[in-house]
Structure 1
Amino acid sequence: MATKVQPSTKKEKTQLVDMNWDPITRIVGSLGIYTKIDFENRTVAECKSTSSIFRGYSIFMKDKDPRDAHFITSRICGICGDNHATCSCYTQNMAYGVKPPNISEWIVNLGEAAEYMFDHNIFQENLVGVDYCEKMVSETNPGVLKKAENTRAPNADKHGYRTIADIMRALNPFSGEYYREALQVSRSTREMFCLMEGRHVHPSTLYPGGVGTVATVQLMTDYTTRLMRYVEFMKRAVPLHDDLFDFFYEALPGYEQVGNRRILLGCWGAFQDPEVCNFSYKDMNAWGNKMFVTPGVVVDGRLVTTDLVDINLGIRILLGSSYYDDWKGQGKFVERDPLGNPVDERHPWNQHTNPHPQRRDLDDKYSWVMSPRWYDGKDHLPLDTGGGPLARLWATALAGKVETDHVKATGQSVKIRLPKTGLKPEVELEWKIPKWSNTLERNRARTYFQAYAAACALHFAERAMAEIHAGNTKTWERFEVPDEAVGCGFTEAVRGVLSHHMVIQDGKIANYHPYPPTPWNASPRDSFGTPGPYEDAVQDQPLFEENNRENFKGIDIMRTVRSFDPCLPCGVHMYLGKGKSLERLHSPSGGSPEE
């Protein structure tokens, strides 16, 4: 297809080439990235993010027994099913008016901390790490690899690799030493999870009202011994990734613009403090601010709110370029929240799901993903999660509300104290708020948050052990399912914000909508034409790959998409072909279209 613009005197030619990666899969082959590449200027001129799968949980949850919600929604995902189960139990606790015993919430926190450690570790080292390994860099940026061979690693004494190229070799799939070591570490973190929640990744011991896990000293000992081995691993992982990512800034001036977008970050908080949390909506702001990961919305570097009530009421579900018919006029399930605040028609409590299958049209409807936005009273903001860790650390740092013996939020940073282990002394790590919300900083934050989760787990284990020694081993509280109720749960799935919204009528589920991080990150252009975060981060980013059009792999694009930890994915499959050219002739003074 060729489009021409009438020239006046001087013609300026720009060729855009269609380059598509569909599917980009790691688990479910449903994520597609459609781009137009300007090879002359080495930039991405346009990006569209598509999903070819419809799940329909919001439809078949209707009329179910509310007590089954966590078992059903856990099956939404084969990666973060436990996060859904946890969030659903939080939602049910609110709807039923039940407060679980303290020990049960420490156990839930320990399970979720293990899941963060497991998932972030295996994704960072065995999936994202491949993008920066020797084999990949040699194929896409041989000049960078040459420089890496001659660049000493500043933290070599901490992680054991002399040069940056040595780090890259250690990340090579299957043959790399660090790659293989990470696989072993992921096994122990999975064992930690199963100790607390029974089964990975669909928990068998999580319930509204508490857990079925038996709280014993032996349980905590088995968990902690594995945790300390992970702590020792993190003392190498953090400085290793600092060296690697800092090197890319140095080796490729301007690389900070890869995946960079306006700072629009959302975090819904994680790790309840059972001393404060009663799951009552009316107290949600109070107990939300006592979470060990602080909820918050960060706009242009400023913390707009940490109030979960504000966060809840600001959620809007827009359609735009997604395959659904609007529900405007179909009626509300919830007019006002339990505090009397009006609830918008586009809030998840009031959402109706009207799927409308159709042919993909990148100029109109092109994705099954809706477009969640956060309304600040003026604009519908396309928040992203920074892959999860970036938003979590950023909101927690700015809020300055968290302080234990192991972690502290300072207002500008998060300090993480890792105690002495078998082979390494005590260390203090500090994640500092970066200048950019970009590809490298999303990845860097993922490593630091692994250390943060481990440090939090040390605190949770200590508190759980104290409960056990005090004889407080009851792990479940009875409840009754009301005929009419609403509930909402807020937590962080591994890759970012997760909320569940439930309406109960006549003792059954009348409406249920889970919103995990991928709809926020992978959303298409919304009703106002605003691109989703994947699209926004990729579009207009520079390209540093040394390959020409014929051999182009799109590594900078892939790094950006994967920095968000997309939950539609497990090995990357690419379809390139030779591309399709769009020829445009531009005139400095404009002109009318010419056939």
Structure 2
Amino acid sequence: MTTIIPDPSHKTETDGLVEMAWDPITRIVGSLGIYTKIDFKQKEVVECHSTSSIFRGYSIFMKGKDPRDAHFITSRICGICGDNHATCSCYCQNMAYGVQPPHIGEWIVNLGEAAEYMFDHNIFQENLVGVDFCEKMVSETNPGVLAQAENTPAPHAGDHGYRTIADIMRSLNPFTGEFYREALQVSRWTREMFCLMEGRHVHPSTLYPGGVGTSATVQLMTDYVSRLMRYVEFMKKVVPMHDDLFDFFYEAIPGYENVGLRRTLLGCWGSFQDPAVCNFEYKDMENWGRSMFVTPGVIVDGKLVTTSLVDINLGIRILLGSSYYDDWTDQEMFVEKDPLGNTVDRRHPWNQHTNPHPQKRDMDEKYSWVMSPRWYDGKDYLALDTGGGPLARLWSTALAQLVDIGYVQSTGHSVKINLPKTALKGPVELEWNIPRHGSNTLERNRARTYFQAYAAACALHFAEKALAEIRAGHTKTWEKFDVPDEGIGCGFTEAVRGVLSHHMVIRDGKIANYHPYPPTPWNANPRDSYGTPGPYEDAVQKSPIFEENDRDHFKGIDIMRTVRSFDPCLPCGVHMYLGEGKTLEKLHSPTQSVTGE
């Protein structure tokens, strides 16, 4: 791990611009590097490149495998959101095999995924992102802001118990902060909830195409809900606390709304199937997609342009540009028409070939192992991002106005979340509103907090539905199926940090082509073949800098907050390449800062 003070070898000056690099970015998983040019006179990031330095190649070694192994294999893409991959792969297989799980099986999957959202968002927000806003960090980067925080009463102190904004910051100090330690305990409950539903975290042992192997009992649901209600009570404290913290930064630092701000281009592939509607058939995908409890959608400049999973699927394009691959324009087309007769593009994942071409990094040419997914709207190749996951999910769901289950409702401009009475607190209604500041660093982080509450509220609904099935005697959790000799499938869901799709082609009963596209390629990609920067790059470059340190003591906190607001997790976007067996010897190690950077 590197210190957040750039290593001298990573700092040069050219034409008044200072080149600085943070490689690897810390407090995330994977080998993400951010390379910038900074104008310290104008206090602005002028240029940014996002790099990833390793290659793994799941799309290559999936070929020839038994399709029924796909979810077990792709789960290992990531040790953070492996269950999201397993779930999406099972959705993809359900379509290819023509199988619909029993209702109780699908409710159990939903409960497992809800627990994963709660677990991952909690531990990332409070124990990793929270460090960027803790007293220790703010004292090192913006001492003037900390002094102001000491004298600023927290508006919702009665809800969360912290008298001033500085008290909130102190509670986030790593290992010593009260809230930091409390969040670690909460992550244990949510992990237990997941294991109750899917056997093992993070690689499910009871999740299969056709349903689950979990035994559906009243006791199972009781064990889950007892933990869920403790989490619900926790969220009644967390949401107002983060609202106070993020609102304070807007007030304390005029112009902070421009940090990490980019054009609102958001993608959400939907989450939480409704088993009463979802049959996993492609011909009905538009209908059952719109019945998800998180609504799929593409948002362009704040407007919802589609909620159709068919449109979303057909619009996906994989571009190369600055990534280390050769093109596949002269290689085989696997799928020319979708099951509805629509033309499938050569650059669609069903037709993609992975041709790695390792080479020396060149910021003007090739510099990353991440490809550049884009969504084609008929005229432009849009560099969609996920807003870290929750921002796109809440924004799409709010605008679509398709969700109303009592615990959560979408209003057209907001999402309302109704948390019931718990042991220590009465019922609470929370409301996430579409942010007036747009898609920026603070709003990505704020949405993550609200989506934890949203996932908890949805889980209450799923548990009620599951209990109704069990009490009615509907305890069969798996439906048998046959693997066809020829077939295609696609699965769509939301990984914790955003859009996730799996595309599979079956020939002779084996996998002929398989491409998983998680959120990291969408967020962390380099400049594409049209020169369009990826979302990390776009959000960082032109972003203002408000850090109070001079250039010789610069930590880059505004840049780090922006990158981490996307919830980076590089294993999903990068792959391993063995090369020619060269040995690299590490001669020295940079120092560590107190804050773990």
What's the counterpart of residue 311 of structure 2?
310
Whichever residue aligns with residue 457 of structure 1, its letter is: A
Partners of 1:171 and 1:113 lie apart in 2 by 25
2:30–2:569 Cα contact (<8 Å) kept: no
Partners of 1:542 and 1:27 lie apart in 2 by 23
Aligned pairs for 1:196-235 (under 5 A) are 196-235=197-236
Helix, strand or coil at the partner of 1:374? strand
Partners of 1:85 and 1:482 lie apart in 2 by 20
1:515 is aligned, of 514, 517, 522, to 517
Q: Give the gaps of 5 or more residues in structure 2.
A: 1-13, 572-588, 593-597
What's the counterpart of residue 282 of structure 2?
281
1:266–1:298 Cα contact (<8 Å) kept: yes
1:73–1:84 Cα contact (<8 Å) kept: yes
What's the counterpart of residue 301 of structure 1?
302
Helix, strand or coil at the partner of 2:570? coil
What's the counterpart of residue 395 of structure 1?
396
Partners of 2:66 and 2:342 lie apart in 1 by 27
Q: Deviations over 1:235-270 (max 9, x none)?
A: 000000000000000000000000000000000000
What's the counterpart of residue 444 of structure 1?
446
What's the counterpart of residue 73 of structure 1?
74
2:469 is aligned, of 467, 487, 494, to 467
- Structure 1 393/163 Cα, relative in aligned 2: closer, same or farther at 3 Å? same
Deviation at 1:355, TM superposition (A): 0.1
1:503–1:510 Cα contact (<8 Å) kept: yes
1:173–1:179 Cα contact (<8 Å) kept: yes
What's the counterpart of residue 487 of structure 1?
489
Normalised by the length of structure 2, the TM-score is 0.93
Deviation at 1:53, TM superposition (A): 1.1
1:371–1:519 Cα contact (<8 Å) kept: yes
2:154–2:163 Cα contact (<8 Å) kept: yes
Deviation at 1:27, TM superposition (A): 5.5
1:21–1:576 Cα contact (<8 Å) kept: no
Deviation at 1:24, TM superposition (A): 1.1
Q: Deviations over 1:276-295 (max 9, x none)?
A: 00000000000000000000
Greater Rg by CA? 1
Deviation at 1:317, TM superposition (A): 0.1
1:21–1:575 Cα contact (<8 Å) kept: no
Aligned-residue Cα RMSD (Å) equals 1.2
Whichever residue aligns with residue 455 of structure 2, its letter is: A
2:498 is aligned, of 496, 499, 503, to 496
Partners of 2:328 and 2:322 lie apart in 1 by 15
Aligned pairs for 1:416-431 (under 5 A) are 416-431=417-432
Q: Deviations over 1:137-171 (max 9, x none)?
A: 00000000000000000000000000000000000
Aligned pairs for 1:82-481 (under 5 A) are 82-435=83-436, 436-481=438-483
Partners of 1:27 and 1:522 lie apart in 2 by 13
Aligned pairs for 1:5-24 (under 5 A) are 15-24=16-25
Helix, strand or coil at the partner of 1:535? helix
Partners of 2:131 and 2:498 lie apart in 1 by 22
Q: Deviations over 1:439-463 (max 9, x none)?
A: 0000000000000000000000000
What's the counterpart of residue 57 of structure 1?
58
Partners of 1:66 and 1:25 lie apart in 2 by 36
Normalised by the length of structure 1, the TM-score is 0.93
Helix, strand or coil at the partner of 2:317? strand
Partners of 1:23 and 1:300 lie apart in 2 by 32
Partners of 1:191 and 1:285 lie apart in 2 by 34
Whichever residue aligns with residue 228 of structure 1, its letter is: M
Deviation at 1:329, TM superposition (A): 1.5
1:20–1:575 Cα contact (<8 Å) kept: no
Deviation at 1:55, TM superposition (A): 1.3
1:314–1:375 Cα contact (<8 Å) kept: yes
Q: How many percent of aligned residue pairs carry the same amino acid?
A: 83
Greater RCO, CA 8 A, separation 6+: 1
Partners of 2:149 and 2:176 lie apart in 1 by 19
- Structure 1 17/365 Cα, relative in aligned 2: closer, same or farther at 3 Å? same
Deviation at 1:29, TM superposition (A): 3.9
Whichever residue aligns with residue 487 of structure 2, its letter is: A
Helix, strand or coil at the partner of 1:490? strand
